[in-house]
Every structure is written in structure tokens, then in C-alpha cells.
Chain A
Amino acid sequence: MTRHPIHNLNDDVHQRVRLGILASLDGLAKTDFNHLKTTLELTDGNLGRHLQALEEAGLVSQTRTTGDGRPRTWIKITTKGRRALRDEIQALQQLLGELGPNPTTTARNTDPQIETLLQQGRTSTDPATRAAAYQGVAKRLNADLPYIWQDRATWAVVANSHVQNWNNPTTPQGAKAYGMIVGTIWTPQIWKST
């Protein structure tokens, strides 16, 4: 059984700020605390905590100097840190390959049947064909159940002023649908196809 790429992610590195720190140090001899703080747009405390974690893992080293008249903290990436950064990038690339980009469904669920049905629904103007296509999608989702919505999402949609019927729309069958002008989308009903 092959090991899933998600297991290759390093817990010490797999964090946005820590990856940012290592990437900002890679290729340079050393940088000081203030430079990193400005580059990564962090507070002293936040950066300090992440640096401490990285130092404890042996991925960076910190040196305090007062040579030029003011105290400074210099941060260097270690050989282990460089290797960890390289491995993490490789693991993320593998993971991305495994997950696969699928831009046509919100949750990136890959299902050729759903893709075909969605395409049929989108490209047809015949109400019967569209209804059949979307019923087919509902059946597949019901059978496969790739994800369950657990939370409501707040969306921002920007549109040209000529776009009509945002609010109080109706379904092709004449029933009332939920408009998008409210700004919040939630699941008011669960439809189960048989």
C-alpha cells in the first residue's frame, strides 16, 4: 500500500508562517529579526514564537549580537532547515498531484459522471434536458456522498449592473428560489433523489 503524500508533510514546517520564514532565509547567509518581521508582516511575539519552534526543531539558528551599537538577533537557516523546506515543497507538490485540480465543482470532487452531467445542464437550453442532468447530479451526489455541508458561507459576488434577477428569482418550475443579494447562502432543505 502506497503512503499518502499528506503523511510526508513535516509538522514543524507545515505552517504558513514557518514555511515563509524558511523560504525567506533560503539562499541568504542570514537576516535579522526586523527584516523577517517586515517581510512576513508579523508581530514580534508571533515571529518569536515561530522562530523558537523552528530553532527547537534544529531548522534555524539564532544569534544575538551588539556589534554595531544596538542589539540584534540574526537568524540563519540550517542545513536541516534547507532540507526540510525542500522536502516540504516536494510533499506539497505530490499532494497537489494526488488531490488533482478540478475547477468545475466547488469542493474539487472528481467524478467524470458529474462533470458530464454538469456540462449537459450548462450547455442545454431545453428545460427537460437540464432537469434530467441536474437530477442525475443529485443522484450521483446522493450515492457517493463526497462531502456534507456543515457550515454556511458568506459570499461576495460582484457583477455588472446589467445582470438581472439577483433577488427573488424563480426556478424553471416556477417555485421561489433563494436570491444572492442577501449575501448568505445556506442549505434550507436537503433533497434526496430516489
Chain B
Amino acid sequence: MDPIVVELTLAETAARRRGALELACASIAVPLRLLALVWFALVPVALVVGRNHLGPFVGVALIAVTVAAWRRFRKAAIAHGVQARLWPWILVVIAATVGGTAASRGGVDHGLPLLNVVGPFAVNALALLALAWALRSRVLAATSGLMLAASGVVGATLTGNVAVAVQLITYAVLLLLACARLSR
């Protein structure tokens, strides 16, 4: 077998996989964009109601986003003949909700304000990093890294509800920028 044939076969296969993953990335941008809007909407809640009471709002919002994404995926399948997988998003939601709640409560229970303020955001960023790995998306991976760095800076400089509000805004902006790149 000629190495050129093998190389061409590998290159063509890689290009087809990349094409499929780009479609998957463009689809996943739908729930991610909704998630960014949810984070924006949670800013006044964090400042008025308080950071330790965000859980129910986040839970309801994530369920709504998941249902909306599922409907959009089905519509896109009918229109374009391609349906992306929703389970990576569902895993992100579960990881973010369970991990975020645990980090927030752990911070309160053990008197660790940094874990309480930064922990849930770090969990979200790590969940997005896992999603980036599943989709082989450098944009999402870089965004997750920037999110973690932002949380580090906020954790070192701010405290309380303000720290949470600033992280919500930063994460939302970064995610919207990433979505703009993903859906190109």
C-alpha cells in the first residue's frame, strides 16, 4: 500500500470528522448562548437576593435552557438534516449544578469564603472544559481557561455578592464571544 494513499485517506477522514464536529459546535452554541443570557439575568438576583440563594434560579433556568435547546436541535434536524447530540450539554448541566451547589455549600459550611464565591464558577468553567474536549473545540477550551483566570483574579480582589456578580458578567461575556466564534 502506498503511503500517499494512507496519508490521503487519513487526511480526508480527519477533514470529515472536523466537519461533523464543527456542526456539533455550531449546534451547542445555542444552549451556551442561552446560558450566557441566564448568567446576565442572575446578576441582579445575586446582588439583591444574595449569592447563597441562586441555586433554585440556576436550576430552573438550566432546565428551561435544556428544553429550549432540545426543541432547537429538533427544528434544525428537520430543516438541515443534521441533529447534534444533546447529552454533552446535559452532562455539563448536571456537573455544573451538582458541583456548583456542593462548592457553594461547602464554602458556607466550612467557613471558606473563597470556595463559596469562586468554587461554583470554577466548576462551571471545568464543565465547559470537558465539553470543549468532547467537541475538540479550542475556542471553548480557551474560554474555559480565561474563565478560570478571571475567577482567580476576582477571588483575589473582591468578596461577597459583588464578586459573584462580576464573575457572572465576565463569564457571560466570554461565553457570548466564544459562541460567536463557534457558530461561524
A and B from one assembly?
yes
Partner of B81, one of A16, A26, A27, A34: A34
| CB of A178 to closest CB in B, whole Å | 25
Contact with B along A136-150 (1 / 0, CB 8 A): 000000000000000
By a CB distance below 8 angstroms, the chain A residues around B24 are 27-28
- Whether A53 is near chain B, meaning CB under 8 Å from some CB there, is no
By a CB distance below 8 angstroms, the chain A residues around B82 are 28, 30-32, 35
> If the complex has contacts A16-B9, A93-B10, are A23 and B17 also in contact, measured as CB distance less than 8 A?
yes
- Whether B173 is near chain A, meaning CB under 8 Å from some CB there, is no
**Are A96 and B13 within 8 A (Cβ)?**
no
By a CB distance below 8 angstroms, the chain A residues around B84 are 28-29
Partner of B13, one of A19, A99, A100: A19
In the assembled complex, the Cα of A27 lies from the Cα of B2 at a distance in Å of 30
In the assembled complex, the Cα of A92 lies from the Cα of B10 at a distance in Å of 7
By a CB distance below 8 angstroms, the chain B residues around A108 are 2-4
**Are A23 and B20 within 8 A (Cβ)?**
yes
- Whether A95 is near chain B, meaning CB under 8 Å from some CB there, is yes
By a CB distance below 8 angstroms, the chain A residues around B55 are none
By a CB distance below 8 angstroms, the chain B residues around A28 are 20, 23-24, 82-85
By a CB distance below 8 angstroms, the chain B residues around A8 are none
> If the complex has contacts A16-B9, A89-B13, A96-B3, are A32 and B20 also in contact, measured as CB distance less than 8 A?
no
- Whether B110 is near chain A, meaning CB under 8 Å from some CB there, is no
By a CB distance below 8 angstroms, the chain A residues around B86 are 29
- Total contacts A-B at CB 8 Å: 86
- Whether B135 is near chain A, meaning CB under 8 Å from some CB there, is yes
Nearest B residue to A21, CB-CB: B16
- Whether A24 is near chain B, meaning CB under 8 Å from some CB there, is yes
- Whether A60 is near chain B, meaning CB under 8 Å from some CB there, is no
- Whether B19 is near chain A, meaning CB under 8 Å from some CB there, is yes
By a CB distance below 8 angstroms, the chain A residues around B20 are 23-28
User: Which residues of chain B from 1 to 28 have a CB within 8 Å of any chain A CB?
Assistant: 1-4, 6-7, 9-10, 12-14, 16-17, 19-21, 23-24
In the assembled complex, the Cα of A39 lies from the Cα of B18 at a distance in Å of 13
| CB of B52 to closest CB in A, whole Å | 37
In the assembled complex, the Cα of A30 lies from the Cα of B19 at a distance in Å of 14
Contact with A along B44-69 (1 / 0, CB 8 A): 00000000000000000000000000
**Are B85 and A99 within 8 A (Cβ)?**
no
> If the complex has contacts A39-B19, A99-B3, are A68 and B10 also in contact, measured as CB distance less than 8 A?
no
- Whether B80 is near chain A, meaning CB under 8 Å from some CB there, is yes
User: Which residues of chain A from 50 to 86 have a CB within 8 Å of any chain B CB?
Assistant: 67-68, 72, 85
By a CB distance below 8 angstroms, the chain A residues around B81 are 31-32, 34-35, 72
**Are A16 and B10 within 8 A (Cβ)?**
no
By a CB distance below 8 angstroms, the chain A residues around B16 are 19-20, 23-24, 39
In the assembled complex, the Cα of A101 lies from the Cα of B84 at a distance in Å of 37
In the assembled complex, the Cα of A75 lies from the Cα of B55 at a distance in Å of 39
Partner of B1, one of A16, A25, A99: A99
Contact with B along A98-120 (1 / 0, CB 8 A): 01111000011000000000000
A positions within 8 Å CB-CB of B: 6, 16, 19-20, 23-32, 34-35, 39, 67-68, 72, 85, 89, 92-93, 95-96, 99-102, 107-108
10 further interface pairs, Cβ-Cβ under 8 Å (given A39-B16, A96-B7) = A19-B9, A19-B12, A28-B20, A28-B82, A28-B85, A30-B82, A31-B81, A92-B6, A96-B3, A108-B2
